[in-house]
Amino acid sequence: LRDNRIELVRASWHELSISVSDVSLSDEGQYTCSLFTMPVKTSKAFLTVLGVPEKPQITGFTSPVMEGERMQLTCKTSGSKPAADIRWFKNDKEVKDVKYLKEEDEVRKTFTVSSTLDFLADRSDDGAVVSCRVDHESLNSTPQIAMQVLEIHYTPLVKIISSNSWPEEGQSIVLTCESKGKPVPEPVLWTKDGGELPDPERMVVNGRVLSISFLNKTDNGTYRCEAKNPIGRNSTEYVLIVHDVFNTLLPTTVIPSLTTATVTTNVALTASTTTSATATSIRDPNGLTQTGPDHALIGGIVAVVVFVTLCSIILLGRYLARHKGTYLTNEAKGAEDAPDADTAIINAEGSQVNAEEKKEYFI
């Protein structure tokens, strides 16, 4: 061995040791140790040198990329021996559907490895970090990584947010148009029913916000918010319905539950008060607008009054039916001293002028 990188470490009759510094691929091969005896004895060993892959590089990205375009990113590394492994990640999530290619250098016995990631650009990929990871046994579990931040341009995404879910006459409402796009959209355009805003004094536009004060029925209609950028334009609509201030009661009749046959005036009044309070406290934002009195509530009150009247008549009739009247009996005079029934009847046939009145009640 004639090389300055080879150094004799230990030499004796029993052991001979050497060291090789700055190992290169040319150092790979078979090494032989010989003991010059009679006959000569030898021992051989094969040295394998790993080729460390170079730092990977990502190519094929041109910024910016329009939404819907096809992207092909290629990650490439050279000098690995054996061939290195390449893996793709998007925001730390591995991408499996990739193409893998390896080429061998016949002179150096190393490999050049490449992998291609093919996908359609989407707005959700804007700002995503795509990384190419190279794994090899020579890296001692410390992979080499190349990264690329994606920049995707896309048309605006528009959304209208209302400050009042149940607008009524005389109130105000604020409509906010949220637009997101890349590049950032220009100031939005507000229209009503396909034309300009009819009342600029009450309908004030401040950037992306439309404020309408003192709402009335003429404000009903479809409001459109449109946003655009160099890529394209987009819009969304909001249907405004202004409700009446009055007649916001829920058209529901609450019938009181009577559990006994005895109904007094106090119970009826209490039931009527409860019915009115219950019907007044319920609001139905989705109910139809009423323009007249609450007929259901009036009908409930009339039903309670009729029910109480009928119960009073029934109770009075039962009381009068219990009184059977008064009458005189023939047995009332002389029956106390008669020895038998016949004598009592004979004694009772006289005048009934002084007869005692007896009353009989039905119990």
On whether residue 271 sits in a domain, the answer given is no
Average pLDDT over residues 137-163: 93
pLDDT class of 320 with cuts at 50, 70, 90: confident
On whether residue 114 sits in a domain, the answer given is yes
What pLDDT, on the 0 to 100 scale, is given for residue 245? 85
Average pLDDT over residues 351-356: 47
pLDDT over 80 (residue 260): no
What pLDDT, on the 0 to 100 scale, is given for residue 182? 93
* 76 and 130 together in one domain: yes
CA distance 83 to 54: 12
User: For the chain, how many structural domains are there in total?
Assistant: 3
* 209 and 128 together in one domain: no
Average pLDDT over residues 164-175: 94
* 146 and 160 together in one domain: no
* 112 and 188 together in one domain: no
Average pLDDT over residues 108-136: 93
pLDDT over 50 (residue 284): no
On whether residue 262 sits in a domain, the answer given is no
On whether residue 259 sits in a domain, the answer given is no
* 132 and 83 together in one domain: yes
pLDDT over 60 (residue 263): no
120, 150, 180 - which closes a domain: 150
pLDDT class of 152 with cuts at 50, 70, 90: very high
* 63 and 80 together in one domain: yes
pLDDT class of 195 with cuts at 50, 70, 90: very high
* 37 and 72 together in one domain: no
pLDDT class of 317 with cuts at 50, 70, 90: confident
pLDDT class of 348 with cuts at 50, 70, 90: low
Paired residues of 152 in beta bridges = 65
* 40 and 61 together in one domain: no
What pLDDT, on the 0 to 100 scale, is given for residue 300? 87
Tens-place pLDDT, residues 58-82:
999 988 899 999 999 999 999 999 9
The total of other beta-carbon atoms located within 10 Å of residue 80's CB is 24
* 92 and 133 together in one domain: yes
On whether residue 36 sits in a domain, the answer given is yes
What pLDDT, on the 0 to 100 scale, is given for residue 346? 64
* 194 and 223 together in one domain: yes
On whether residue 288 sits in a domain, the answer given is no
240, 273, 304 - which closes a domain: 240
Q: Which amino acid does the sequence have at 350? A: G
**3-class SS string, the chain:** CCCCCEEEEEECCCCEEEEECCCCHHHCEEEEEEECCCCCEEEEEEECCCECCCCCEEECCCCCEECCCEEEEEEEEEEEECCCEEEEEECCEEECCEEEEEEEECCCCEEEEEEEEEEECCHHHCCCEEEEEEECHHHCCCCEEEEEECCEEEEEEEEEEECCCCCECCCCEEEEEEEEEECCCCCCEEEECCECCCCCCCEEEECCEEEECCCCHHHCEEEEEEEEECCEEEEEEEEECCECCCCCECCCCCCCCCCCCCCCHHHHHHHHHHHHHHHHHCECCCCCCCCCCCHHHHHHHHHHHHHHHHHHHHHHHHHHHHCCCEECCHHHCCCCCCCCHHHHHHHCCCCCCCCCCEECCCC
Tens-place pLDDT, residues 6-30:
998 998 888 889 999 999 888 889 9
Q: Are 50 and 81 in contact (CB under 8 A)?
A: yes
Q: What is the CATH number of the domain that holds 210?
A: 2.60.40.10
240, 275, 309 - which closes a domain: 240
pLDDT class of 278 with cuts at 50, 70, 90: very low
* 194 and 125 together in one domain: no
Closest CA to 329 of 285, 360, 292, 304: 360
On whether residue 279 sits in a domain, the answer given is no
Buried b (16+ CB within 10 A) or exposed e, 280-309: eeeeeeeeeeeeeebeebeebeeebeebbe
On whether residue 228 sits in a domain, the answer given is yes
* 130 and 162 together in one domain: no
Q: Provide the residue range defining the domain that includes 70.
A: 57-150
- Which range is least confidently modeled, 26-30, 232-236, 325-329? 325-329
pLDDT class of 144 with cuts at 50, 70, 90: very high
pLDDT over 70 (residue 362): yes
Q: Evaluate if pTM is beyond 0.75.
A: no
